[in-house]
Structure 1
Amino acid sequence: MTAIRLRYIQRYKDRHGELRHYFRRPGYKLVRLPGKPGSPEFMSAYNAALSDAPKLPPIGSGRTMPGSLDALALEWYGSAAFRQLASTTQAVYRRNLERIRAEHGHRLVEDLTPQAVRKLLAAKVNTPAAANHILRMLRMLMRHAIDAEWRPDDPTFGVRRLKERGQGRPHGPRPISLPSRRIGRSAPAPASRWPSCSTPASVAATWCGWGASICAAERPSSSSSRRPGLNS
């Protein structure tokens, strides 16, 4: 007997051992197919499901309450602002937002207050990074809620992020503590380092690297060792 291969067919045995067949296609309703594969009734139901199966509404839309955080999130997923994001960004936002929906999706958007937002963050004080992710996602949702005229204000406005570990410390290497200098006292230079012509000008010139010429100019010659007018 020739085996019939059909797409989107799911089969399993029920508790009575009877083999059941279903038409299961992503985005379409699940349809039970009567009879055995290849039979007229089976093929008629299969062809009808394949050609005329209506598409399902967005996932979760039938279970959401109007005006809830769930409904707002589903609407945001279909907005132009969300669809224009990169696919990787959409995946990250969905992952974070689905966690919020699982815990708070039943809450009404109009009932959200700054005090309620702070309470949500305080409940996750031991995981401040996760709390700040919640705050960020709520801010995006409330921005969409205002644009869609769900509410006139943003309840996350003025709510501060929680301080995460490592924040508050300056970035970069730690400053090196230098030894303190004694005010009003300076160590004298060794006498052996002073040039033979130890006048202030020659000392300064020596440290500048060209003191030899100045020292030669300032050193008195042997013929003029005596000052004029002092000969006895």
Structure 2
Amino acid sequence: MAKRELPKHVYRQRNGIYFQRRGWPSQKFSSPFGTPEFWKEYSDILSGEHPPKRVISRNFTALIAHYRKSPRYKRLKPRTALDYDKYLDFFQSIMGEVSPLGMKRKDVIRLRDANAEKAYFANYSLRVLRVLMEHCVDLGWRETNPAKGVPELKTEKSEREPWPLGLLDAYRTACALGTRERLVMELCVGTGQRIGDVLEMRWSDIQDGAFVIKQNKTGKELWVPILPELRTALSSASRHSLFILTNERGTNRWSYRGASQAVRNVRERIGALDYDIHSWRYNAACELVEAGCSDDLVAAVTGQSPAMVLHYTKKVRQRIRAIEAQQKRTEQKQNV
């Protein structure tokens, strides 16, 4: 059988007759060439009734895979990369075979609004999509980023606050010394560091009665003396690993997800769901201000910028100043 006898896009191979077209997967005919059934198959393919699935090399699956190999992704902090992965997997699940070349601003807005009831998810997915589509532009796949300039959903933001003293006492009562749940709290409150830095702490970081810390986010190096409460918690902890906080098998450091879930379980038991694991950093900063420390002294422990010290302590600072003001007011009246 000569090729010229075959219709367009049909080729003879050793094991049969195939429909082969650029951009389409190869498809074998089930009926012998020249039979009515063969021509029916061929007609169906061309008419689109039973077309083979198009192969799109520039789809979201390929874009996400390329992004994960890029310096832009590899520069992310481990915690941020973990967050990004959740949204990248989400994009791949809903539009993996779709080409990003056809995405328009209205599509981005539609995707954002489809998750409007979960505002945090909608806004974070928009941020990740914006980064992903910027990478698409850098690859030369398209000229513009359709997610750029799309506003996030407005939400009623409740400001994080430090744990009330009563709930901290309840937490300590619920978690005995020697447990990871108790130790992670004492480390966060005692050192004033981010949870990511606390989970990285090693026993070798304790030098001359203090923690030697290099913050992941800022790169700042700190020397933070250990408070008595924290010293007691550390002396009750098991030392079977390089890391102070370890996974259940004691083979590696405790993951953020594992620590967060363990702390949440305690928060549920004691009725502290309004206060999370990050609020302990607020406790440290506020305790320092209440002790009369200047912003410079607070920053020496927490490693925060002056603006962040003010942000973390503005409510307790207002209370302290209000007490001072009312005392002066009372003294003035007494003098009169």
TM-score, length-normalised on structure 1?
A: 0.44
Decide which structure has greater helix share.
2
**Bigger radius of gyration among the two:** 1
Q: Could you say which structure has the greater relative contact order, defined with CA pairs below 8 angstroms and 6 or more residues apart?
A: 2
